[in-house]
Structure 1
Amino acid sequence: MQIVKDTVVQFKYIITELDGTELENNRDAEAVAYLHGHDNMMPGVESALEGKAVGDRFTV
């Protein structure tokens, strides 16, 4: 299933500095969940998730 409008999306993340220094992650916590296509997520993240599928990995 691909991520499109009205899809409930759950994801885990790692936030890093440009030099790779890790600032935050949710590896050991529950995944973030939101309803896609309704401005419930930062626009750049939502845009990057559009069309992705379960198991996809990417950098924003």
Structure 2
Amino acid sequence: MGKDSVAKQDPEYKNRAETFSDESQRGNFSIKLNNLQHTDAGKYICYITNSSDSQQETVQLIIS
């Protein structure tokens, strides 16, 4: 089903971003960002595409 793509991933997140491919079959497209830094705070946009459709979701990460 889903396939991870890091082709456009910012090098700042290399080896810190984790996805859960098995969960995508259940509609869960979660991403875990490890070793959080204050500079990670901000808006994140996730693009999900397939052969017939595409969607975009936005989340705001707040680090306190």
Higher strand share: 2
TM score, norm. by length of structure 2: 0.25
Higher radius of gyration, 1 or 2: 2
Greater RCO, 1 or 2 (C-alpha within 8 Å, sep 6+)? 1
Q: Structure 1-normalised TM-score?
A: 0.26
